[in-house]
């Protein structure tokens, strides 16, 4: 039985076509060479396009059999003879643009079943679906929910009463949404939970009294949220995710959290309630951020950090408790040296 391959190129462009698409410099002798696949350097064949943007893979570049490769001008000398080198400023970004053009299905989950509303889905009579919405078997859409054209609701997903979803969105299989408003082109991967109760309790010696959570979750345009993330609805305000933000798998966002535009939040991050992240903040994996903090625009937080205080705009921090990154790295190096001295 042959090995399946789930994505195929929409056409077989020439090297010249690709160079025009990303404004690359190249040797015109390769202009007519056809490209029929996309592959990593070590797996690429004579009809494949690869990219090189990390010196760790210099050996793979020297040995590659790729027909064409996107790379920076400084790496051209490492390219093997016969390779059609496409010189660009940012090889990975250029590769992403080309792949999006040649394999568009990879950017949006295509319906697993026939298009349209499956007879095995449950759509409330008071729900409003624009033409072109696909709803897969087992999905449930509640009363008053509104879903825009071009949106896919995956198998066994649940869209609660009154939830509004914009156009050209993807709601992954098994995802659940309540008390939420989504913009256009939002992608929720399988198992995402949006709009459930926040973790709010009035503590006391007689027991912990559950505090009502009466806010919403607002997710703006072009947001992507990875598998099995949880975004709690606000307690008295809204939980907000700004446009263009990308959230990796297994991230917890607490109630009332406000995330700015175009942030990057990597896997296993937890953000406690009422914390605000400015625009273009980057948070490394397994970081914990305490509640009621302000993370300034453009701040970068290293992986496995514990953030317990506000972080200024543009700062780079790391460690637990998080501190200026250079200081953290310097202290970590000193600790390693001290450990070696004790052993000797």
* Rounded CA separation 134/12 (Å): 30
Cβ-contact 238, 259 below 8 angstroms: no
Q: How far is CA 34 from CA 2, 10, 18, 39, 302, in A?
A: 25, 13, 10, 14, 42
Return d(Cα 29, Cα 32) in angstroms, integer: 8
- In this structure, the number of other CB atoms found within 10 A of the CB of residue 342 comes to 7
Task: Return the closest-CA partner of residue 252 out of 219, 234, 229, 276.
Answer: 229
Task: Return all residues near 301 (Cβ < 8 A) that are at least 6 apart.
Answer: 281, 282, 283, 284, 287, 289, 295, 307, 311, 317, 318, 322
Give the span between the Cα atoms of 296 and 14, in whole angstroms: 45
Q: Distance between CA 195 and CA 116 in Å, rounded?
A: 26
Rounded to 5 degrees, what are φ and ψ at 59?
-65, -40
Residues involved in catalysis: 255
The CA-atom distances, in angstroms, between 327 and each of 191, 290, 297, 298, 315 are 39, 21, 21, 19, 12
Q: What radius of gyration, in Å, describes the C-alpha atoms of the chain?
A: 24
Enumerate long-range contacts of 134-140, CB under 8 Å, 24 or more apart: 136/111, 136/112, 136/173, 137/113
* Residue 340 DSSP one-character state: H
């Amino acid at each position: 039985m042959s090995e399946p391959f789930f994505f195929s190129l929409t056409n077989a462009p020439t090297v010249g076509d690709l160079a025009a698409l990303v404004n690359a410099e190249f040797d015109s002798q390769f202009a007519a060479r056809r490209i029929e696949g996309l592959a990593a350097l070590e797996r690429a064949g004579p009809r494949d396009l690869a990219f090189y943007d990390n010196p760790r893979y210099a050996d793979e570049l020297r040995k590659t059999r790729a027909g064409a490769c996107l790379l920076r001008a400084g790496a051209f000398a490492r390219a093997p003879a016969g390779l059609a080198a496409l010189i660009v400023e940012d090889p990975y970004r250029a590769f992403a643009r080309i792949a999006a053009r040649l394999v568009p299905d990879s950017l949006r989950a295509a319906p697993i079943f026939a298009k349209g509303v499956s007879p095995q889905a449950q759509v409330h009579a008071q729900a409003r679906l624009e033409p072109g919405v696909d709803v897969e078997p087992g999905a449930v859409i509640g009363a008053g929910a509104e879903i825009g054209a071009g949106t896919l609701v995956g198998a066994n997903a649940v869209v609660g009463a009154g939830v509004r979803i914009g156009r050209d969105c993807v709601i992954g299989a098994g995802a659940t949404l309540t008390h939420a408003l989504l913009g256009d082109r939002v992608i929720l991967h399988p198992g995402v939970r949006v709009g459930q109760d926040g973790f709010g309790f009035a503590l006391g010696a007689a027991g912990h009294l559950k505090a009502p959570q009466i806010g919403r979750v607002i997710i703006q345009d072009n947001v992507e949220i990875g598998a099995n993330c949880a975004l709690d609805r606000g307690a008295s305000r809204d939980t907000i995710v700004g446009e263009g933000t990308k959230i990796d798998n297994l991230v917890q966002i607490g109630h009332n959290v406000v995330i700015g535009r175009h942030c990057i939040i990597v896997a296993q991050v937890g953000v406690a309630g009422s914390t605000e992240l400015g625009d273009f903040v980057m948070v490394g994996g397994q970081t914990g951020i305490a509640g009621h903090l302000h993370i300034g625009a453009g701040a970068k937080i290293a992986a496995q950090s514990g953030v317990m205080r506000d972080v200024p705009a543009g700062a780079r921090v790391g460690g637990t408790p998080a501190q200026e990154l250079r200081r953290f790295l310097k202290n970590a190096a000193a600790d390693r040296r001290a450990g070696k001295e004790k052993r000797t």
